[in-house]
Amino acid sequence: MIKPLTSLRFVFAFMVFMSHNILFDKGTNPFLHHLFYEGCVGVSFFFILSGFILTHVYQQGFKENKISKGAFYVARFARIYPLHILTMLIWVYMRKDHPLNEPYITNFISNVFLVQSFYPTDEIRFNTAAWSLSDEMFFYLLFPLLIAWFATMKRKFVLGFTLAGILVFFLCPIFNGTKNQEWFLYSYPPVRLLDFVLGILFYNICQSVKGQDLVKKISPTLLELSAIVLFLSFYMIAYFIPEVYRYSMWYWLPVGVFISVFYFQAGRISKFLSNDTFIWLGEISFAFYMFHAIVLWYIRRTFILLDISIDKPIIFALGLILTIVVSGLSFKYFETPANKWVKQKLSKYLLVKSSI
């Protein structure tokens, strides 16, 4: 476990929470509205971190044939699918008054198979946060192939990423203002695959440039502060950047550097983030991400039924506290045992070793 990166998962999950619970009106407080809305950068962090961490955990094992593709797929499926199905079924209950029309059934099936991000729709998405799991599952399927490609053809791998990045850069203004700009540039798995691939590249950069030596030459705490300042600078300046670029590309450099610096866990900020409480929050961050919209929906629904007018900050605070409580309970009593059970059953059925 890379403790600072584990803890930081909650920070960025909280930023996503902020983006779904904006306290300031865009018309009267545009910049403060931006600071909340821009919390969607948390998704970019998770995609890049996913590529980074999976490479850290599996790259050498794949190279030495110590880890099979089957074991990898079982581990990743067991990690995300049980909680996805639970939260999806909760959303089905929440929206039980929705007519069982064709779009509803189509989206239900696509959610079950985690392919909902491959097409745009204005219809119900169930647990909307699960769109990113559709992307993640796509990344997982390709990961062994990407690692094999990187191991044998590093230059072509980097060239492929560069050309794909340039293509997306030129597609951004074309999609600007169109109905499907957010879907294509923010949700579409082949486009967001670039974030994941960037994580693979940043991990290997950390290994090749002898980052440990760099950390010894420069104050590690200063490096961590610089990474934070770099990220916050991009976050603030994003107010002036067209949204089509902010969906992903704008944050590639600051998020990649941010993750890379804290990977070495050498500075005082890393030590602070290695506190048991922060690590626990990081461990429940997946459940926090998956449950936050559900908790907010029930809070708002409750106050509507009680005919009580409530201020946004109170909903924000209640939502945060209750989501942490629900996530902690889910992590201990559902997510962890379900992960273990699914991994054991699938490993036995597929005859793969479940050692990861």
What is the residue whose two structure tokens read 């461990």? Answer: 283
**pLDDT-derived band of residue 322, with 50, 70 and 90 as boundaries?**
very high
Q: What is the pLDDT of residue 104?
A: 86
Task: Specify the DSSP class assigned to residue 333.
Answer: I
* Positive or negative torsion for Cα 232, 234, 238, 239: positive
Tell me the residue length of the chain: 356
Is the pLDDT score of 83 beyond 60?
A: yes
Q: pLDDT tens for residues 219-236?
A: 889 999 999 999 999 999
CA distance linking residue 68 with residue 100, whole number of Å? 41
Coil, strand or helix at 95: coil
Q: Of 217, 261, 202, whose CA–CA distance to 8 is shortest?
A: 261
Is the pLDDT score of 355 beyond 60?
A: no
Q: Which residue has better confidence, 355 or 126? A: 126
Q: Which region among 52-66, 101-115, 205-219 has the lowest average model confidence (pLDDT)?
A: 205-219
Is the pLDDT score of 52 beyond 90?
A: yes
Coil, strand or helix at 53: helix
**pLDDT-derived band of residue 124, with 50, 70 and 90 as boundaries?**
low
Q: Which region among 25-29, 182-186, 344-348 has the lowest average model confidence (pLDDT)?
A: 344-348
Q: What is the pLDDT of residue 211?
A: 56
Is the pLDDT score of 42 beyond 80?
A: yes
Query: Which whole number is the average pLDDT over 50-60?
Result: 96
Q: pLDDT tens for residues 272-321?
A: 999 999 999 999 999 999 999 999 999 999 999 998 888 999 999 999 99
Q: pLDDT tens for residues 158-203?
A: 999 999 999 999 999 999 889 899 999 999 999 999 999 999 999 9
Q: What is the pLDDT of residue 98?
A: 79
Q: What is the pLDDT of residue 324?
A: 98
**Structure-block tokens of residue 305:** 């039924």
Could you give the percent of the chain with pLDDT greater than 90? 79
CB 58 within 8 A of CB 264: no
Is the pLDDT score of 146 beyond 60?
A: yes
Is the pLDDT score of 139 beyond 90?
A: yes
Q: Which residues contact 201 (CB under 8 A, 6 or more apart)?
A: 158, 161, 256
Is the pLDDT score of 148 beyond 60?
A: yes
Q: What Å distances lie between residue 182 and 34, 39, 120, 177, 254, CA to CA?
A: 17, 15, 9, 9, 21
CA distance linking residue 47 with residue 175, whole number of Å? 22
Q: Which region among 86-90, 175-179, 216-220 has the lowest average model confidence (pLDDT)?
A: 216-220
Burial 283-314, CB ≥16 within 10 A → b, else e: bbbbbbbbbbbbbbbebeeeeeeeeeeeeeee
Task: Specify the DSSP class assigned to residue 48.
Answer: H
Q: What is the pLDDT of residue 35?
A: 94
Is the pLDDT score of 352 beyond 70?
A: no
Q: Which region among 55-59, 118-122, 225-229 has the lowest average model confidence (pLDDT)?
A: 118-122
Is the pLDDT score of 213 beyond 80?
A: no
What is the residue whose two structure tokens read 């994003």? Answer: 238
CB 70 within 8 A of CB 331: no
- Kindly give the residue spans of alpha helices, DSSP state H, lying in the chain: 3-19, 30-37, 41-63, 69-94, 102-112, 131-152, 154-175, 181-182, 189-208, 211-217, 220-237, 243-246, 252-263, 268-273, 276-283, 285-305, 312-330, 336-350
CA distance linking residue 261 with residue 223, whole number of Å? 7
Task: Specify the DSSP class assigned to residue 345.
Answer: H
Query: Which whole number is the average pLDDT over 126-139?
Result: 94
Contacts 24+ apart (CB under 8 A), 128-132: 128/293, 129/16, 129/87, 129/289, 129/290, 129/292, 129/293, 130/84, 130/87, 130/88, 130/290, 131/187, 132/43, 132/46, 132/47
